[in-house]
Chains A and B, each alone.
Chain A
Amino acid sequence: MKLEEIRTALAADLAEATNEAALAVVKARYLGKDGVVTNLRRNVDFSAMTPDERKGFGLAFNELRSLAESELDAVQARLSAAAQPAPAGFDYTLPADDRRLGSIHPIIATQLEIEDIFRSMGFSVFAGDEAVSEFENFDALNIPGDHPARDMQDTFWLENGMVLRTHTSSMQNRAMRQLGVPLRAIFPGRCFRNEALDITHENTFYQLEGLLIDRDVSVANLIAVMRDFLAAVFRRDIEVRLRPGFFPFVEPGFELDFRTTLGGVRRWVELMPCGMVHPQVLRNAGVDPDVYSGFAFGLGLTRLAMLRHGVPDVRLFNKADLRFCQQFPASF
C-alpha cells in the first residue's frame, strides 16, 4: 500500500469505530505487531535505496505513524468522555428546591403593567390619600352639592367630615396644584363606595386615573393616547370609539369602547370613561382654562384584573384566601 492510501483507509476505519472495542481492533490493524503501518517498514528493502531515498522514506513513515497515533488517541479520548462517569450519589432528576414562587396580588400585578405602559408614554405615577376632603372628592371636580354621589348610600363619610375617596379622580386637584402644568400623570389606588356586595360590586376596589394637561390638547389627542395605550395593554392594534357620556368633571365626556370578539361575535365593549377636563376643574386647581386644556380618563383596575385573569367574583380580591391569591405567579 502506498502511504496516501493507508492514510485514507485509517480515516475511514476510525470513522466507523464507535466504541472502544472497535477502536482497539483498528489500532491493532494499523499499529499492532502485524499492523499495516508496522509491516510497511518491515517489508521495505532499505538496501535498494539511495541514502536520499532512505531519508525520504523515514520522514514519511514517521509522519504517518505519529499521525495514526494522534488520530487514534483523539478518538480514544472522545469515546472515554462519552462513557458513564461514576454515579453522582443523588437523583439528578428531582425538582428544584422551594419551587413555589410567591405571588403579587392580581390587582397590583395589573397596576404594575399599566404603570409601565404609561411611564413609557411619558406619564408619571403618583399615589394619593385614600381619606380625602369633601372638596377633593366632589367640589373640586365640579360635582354639585346635591349630587346623588354624595349620598350616604354611595359614599363612606368619616366622622371628621372627610370621605373615603369614591374615585381616584380625587387626585386631580392636588396633582395639578402640586405638580403644576403641563402635566402627564396617572394615579392608581384604592377607592371605596358604600354599596351592597355581589359578584360584580365591591365596596373596596382599585381605579387608575389619568390626566394630561397642556396647551391646545384636543379630542383627537385623547383618542390617540387611549388607542395607543390599549394597543399596548392588549398587545395588538385596537379599534376604539368614543360616544357621549356624562361626568361633571369633564366636558365633553365620553365612554370609550374597544372592539373585540366575545363569544364569536365582534362587538364594542365599554372600557373607560374619559373626557376633556372641565374648565371649572382647571380653575379650581389654579390653572387658566384659556391657556391650558387637557383630558382625564379612568380605568377600573379591579375590573381589568377580572378580565385579565378570568376572575368570576369581585369579592375574591379582598378575602386574603391563599387558594385565590397564590394562583397568580409573580410577574416581573
Chain B
Amino acid sequence: MKISADWLSDYVDLAGVSPAELAERLTVRTAEVEGVETVTRAVDGLVVAEIVTAAAFDAGGRLRYAVTVDVGGGRRFQTVCGAPNVRVGMKSAFAPAGTSLFGGVAVATAELYGQRSEGVLCAPGEIGLGSTKDGLVEVPGSVATGTTLSSLVPATDTIIEIDNKSLTHRPDLWGHYGFAREVAAILGRPLTPWQADNLPDDSRLPPWPVQVDDPIDCPRYSALAFDVTHDPVSPLWMQARLYALGHSPLSALVDVTNYVQFELGQPTHAFDARSLASVRVARSGIARSFTTLDGKAWALLPDDLLIWNGDVPVALAGIMGGLDSRIRPDTRSLVLESATFRASRIRGTSVRLGLRTDSSLRFEKKPPPLYTKLAAGRILRLLREGGLAPTVRSQYTAVGDLHEAPRTITLAPGWLAKRAGADIGDDTAAGILRSIGFGVETSADGGLAVSVPAFRSTTDISIPEDISEEVFRLYGYDNITPKAALGPARPVAANAVTQNQHGIRRLLSHAHRFVEVQTYSWHADDWLETLRYTPARPLLVRNPITPTRRQMRDTILPNLLAAAHQNRNVVETYRFYELGRTFWLDEAGTKHEDDELCAVIVDQSGASPERSLRALQSVIEDAAAAAGIPALRFVPWDGGSARPWLQVGRALSTLRDGKVVGHVGHVPDELAKKLVNGGHVAFAVLPASALSGALFPAARYVTPPQFPGSWQDFTFVWPVSRGYTHLLATLDTFAHPMVEAREFVTVYQPKRSPTANYSFRFLLRAAERTPTQEDLDGFRAAFLGFVGGAGLILG
C-alpha cells in the first residue's frame, strides 16, 4: 500500500524528518516499508489560467485552436492548443515561456502554424499530475485565475510503499489517517483530529430504506441520500494525491469515495439515485451473470453477496458497483453506501473471480464498523469544501452495531516489564498507549486498566498480550537488552530416530559414496503406469498440483527409478539414495507414515550385476552393524507381492529377526532396458526404522582366548540353483563344541557347471589348551559324519 507523506502531513507535522528516517522508524515500530519514492511535479512558475478565446483553425489537416488565456491582473497570453477538451471559460494550468514542463522540456515563445505561442496550456502528463497528454488539466472554476500552481500542489511528495503482508492484522492502517496516528506516536507529535461533517439525523428527513437479509455477511450497512448542484473536477491537490497513489482522477463525485478510502481505509460506494429506490443486502441465491461498472460480466454463484434494488442486483457487495447504477456525468442525486462486510465472504468471491479491488482488499482486513460513520461524514465535508453543496435528502440510516463501547483489558502491575524482560514502567506504558488512542486508568490492583479504542476493536486487540505488542513496539525492541535464557543444566532428550537417520546418511554418503537426492512426496501416475505399479491403499490429495499427482508415495522407489532414468546420460555408473517419508492407509482407512531408505545403483559399464547387489547388501549390513543390530539376513524373494521391480530369482528379501523388512535386487531386465542405456539397475529398499538400534551400542568386552585355535578349510560342491542360503541352512544344523566360528571364504563356479565350489573355514578351539591332533581328528570325524548324513559333497 502506498502512503503519501504530503497527505500524512495533513494530520501530523513531519518537519525535520527525512523520508529515509520516517521509513526506517515505521519499519521497526509499525509495519515494513518496502520502498520510498520521490514524486516530482513541474508546477514552478505555472499559473491557473482561464481560457477567454479559442479559435479553431486547420493546421495541416489537424484541428488546432488559437487560444487566449487570462492569468489575472489583466495579463493575457496567446497560445496554440490541440486538446479535445479546450473550451472558453475553462480553467487550466498555463506554463508561460521560461518555465519547464515535466521531464524538463523548456517552454519558449514560438510561432506555431503561423500563430503566436507564448506558453503552454498543460495536459496532466506535462505537469506530473497524470499520464494523459491529450486533454488539458482541469482546475475547478472556484480557484482564482492567476493562482500559482505550486500553492495548490506541492512540487514534490514522498510515496512510502508499505508491505501489505505486514498489515494483515491492522485494519486501522489501511488508510493515511491510521498511519498518521502511528507517526504521531513515533515522533511524539500531536495528531490532528478527524475532520468530518455531522451526519443528518433530522427526523423530518425520511430514512433511506435499508434491509439486510444476511447480517452475518453484512454486520453493518449505512446509507445516505443527497443531491449536488454539479459534478466538477476535484480540487487539484486531490487529483495530485490520487494520481500519486496510482489512480486516475475522474470527477469530484467519483474521486471523493476513492479519496476517503485511501485516507481512512473504509471503502464506500456511491450509486446514482435514479437507479435505486431502496437497498437490500442478500446473497445471489442462484448462479447469475452480473456486470460491474468496468463493463465486465462475472459468473456469480448462489452464495455471492449482492446489493439489491428490489429484485435487481446493483453491486457486487464490497468488491465493485454495478454498471447500471454507476455515477454518470449527469448524476446529481446519489445514494452513499458505507458498510462492513464479512471478510471471508468478500475474499471468497473476489479470489474466485480474480477480481481484486482496493475495496475487497480492505474488507478482507475487517475494518471497524465505526469507520462507516467516519467515512460518510468525511465525504460530506469534502464535497462541501469542494463547492458541491450537498443537500441531504435522507437521514443517515444504518443497520447493525458500531461496536463503539470500549472494552477494557487489565494488566497486573509490572506484567509488561516481566514479559519484555526490560525495565518498562507502567507509567511509560500508559504514555505509549495513550499516544495511539487507548485509554489507560489504574486498575484495582494497581496495574493498568486499558480501554481499547473502537478503531482497534475488530481483530487485533483482545488480550493482554495484544496490549504488550503495542507497548513493546513503540517502546522499541532495540531498547530491550538481550538476556540469555537460563534453564537448568541438564541433558536434553536425545531423538534416536533423527540421530540414527543421520548416521545412516553419513554411512551411505561417506563410506559407500552414495549421493543423497530428494524427490517429491507423491507418485506420478503416468510413471507408475510405465512401471505397472498400483499402490494398494494410497493416501490421496484432494487438490493435487495436477490430477496425476494425487497419490502420496507409499514407497520412494518409483521416484528413484525415474531419477535413474533422468540421470542415465550424466554418468555411466551412479549410486544414489533418498531417505524420506512414505504414506499409506491401512484396511481401516487410518493414515500411516514412515521414513524409508531407498538406494539405487545404476551400472551401464557392463560390469557384473553381482557387484552392485553385493554393494547394496554391504550398505545394509554396515548400517545394521553400526547400530548394533544382530546380523540381518537375505533370503531369496519368493514372489507374492505386486511390486513390478521384484522378480523371482532377481530379488532378495531382507530379514530382521526373521521378519521381512525390505528387499534388495535388480529390476527386471525388460524394465532396466526402459530405464537406462544398457547395464543394470540394482536397488535396496527398507524402512529406516529397520536399521535403527541403540544410538551408542555398548558391546560387552570378551577376553581373547589364551590358547591359539586352528582354522580348518572345507569346500562343498553344491547346486547354484539351491544357493548359498540353503547350504548355510544345512551347515547350521551341525553343532560341535569346538566350533567357535564359521566363515564363508569364496565361491567358484566352473563354466557351464550347474554346481559351484563353496569354501568355508571353521575356527576350532579346545578349552584350556591348544588343540591337539587328537582333538582335530575327533572334530574331523564328527564333521565328515555330518557331511555324509546331510548328503553334502566335499570338493
User: Could you list which residues of chain A lie within 8 angstroms of chain B, going by C-beta atoms?
Assistant: 98, 100-105, 107-108, 112, 115, 119, 122-127, 129-131, 146, 148, 151-153, 156-160, 162, 164, 179, 182, 184-185, 190, 192, 194, 203-204, 212, 214, 216-221, 223-225, 227-228, 241-246, 251-255, 276, 278-279, 293, 317-323, 325-326, 330, 332
Contacts and interface: CB of A to CB of B under 8 A. Distances in A.
Interface stretch (B22-30, B264-272, B763-771): B22-30
B643 interface: no
A200 B492 CA distance: 36
Interface residues of B, number: 87
8 contacts: A103-B515, A126-B498, A131-B591, A164-B541, A219-B477, A227-B482, A244-B473, A254-B477
User: Chain A contact residues: over half helix, strand or loop, or mixed?
Assistant: mixed
A182 B485 CA distance: 12
A279 B465 CA distance: 8
Given A105-B517, A219-B422, A221-B484, A157 B498 contact: no
Interface of B: 27-32, 166, 168-170, 343-344, 347, 351, 364, 418-422, 463, 465-466, 468-469, 472-473, 477-478, 480-485, 487, 489, 492-495, 497-499, 502, 505-506, 508-510, 512-521, 539-545, 552, 559-560, 562-563, 566-567, 570-571, 574-576, 578, 580-581, 583, 585, 589, 591, 593
Contacts of B591: 131, 158, 160, 162
B593 A242 contact: no
A216 B415 CA distance: 10
A220 B463 CA distance: 21
Contact of A218 (B351, B419, B539, B570): B419
B512 A102 contact: yes
Given A318-B520, A320-B518, 10 more contacts: A102-B513, A104-B509, A107-B518, A159-B539, A159-B542, A220-B482, A223-B483, A242-B28, A244-B31, A246-B169
Contacts of B541: 156-159, 164
B487 A122 contact: yes
B572 to A, nearest CB: 12
B34 to A, nearest CB: 11
Contacts of A157: 541-543
B518 A322 contact: no
Contacts of B465: 251-252, 276, 278-279
A200 to B, nearest CB: 15
Nearest to B344: A146
A243 B468 contact: no
B505 A108 contact: yes
B576 A322 contact: yes
Given A318-B520, A320-B578, A323-B570, A221 B509 contact: no
Contact of A204 (B466, B520, B578): B520
B566 A104 contact: no
Contacts of A204: 520-521
Contacts of B518: 105, 107, 317-318, 320
Scoring B477, B478, B585 by chain A CB atoms within 10 A of each residue's CB, the highest score goes to B477
Contact of A102 (B485, B515, B580): B515
Given A252-B468, A320-B576, A325 B542 contact: no
Contact of B506 (A104, A164, A245): A104
User: Which of B489, B517, B540 counts the most A-chain CB atoms under 10 A from its CB?
Assistant: B517
A212 B473 contact: no
Contacts of B487: 122, 182, 184, 214
A194 B480 contact: no
A183 to B, nearest CB: 10
Given A101-B509, A182-B487, A194-B543, A218 B421 contact: yes
Nearest to A317: B518
Given A216-B418, A255-B32, A224 B513 contact: no
Nearest to A188: B498
Nearest to B343: A146
B668 to A, nearest CB: 22
A259 to B, nearest CB: 12
Contact of B29 (A107, A108, A244): A244
Contacts of A122: 487, 489, 492
Contact of B166 (A98, A124, A245, A330): A245
B520 A220 contact: no
Contacts of B480: 219-220, 223
Contacts of B506: 104, 330, 332
B560 A102 contact: no
A214 B168 CA distance: 30
Given A102-B515, A182-B487, A320-B559, A130 B521 contact: yes
B39 to A, nearest CB: 24
Contacts of A219: 419-422, 472, 477, 480
B357 to A, nearest CB: 16
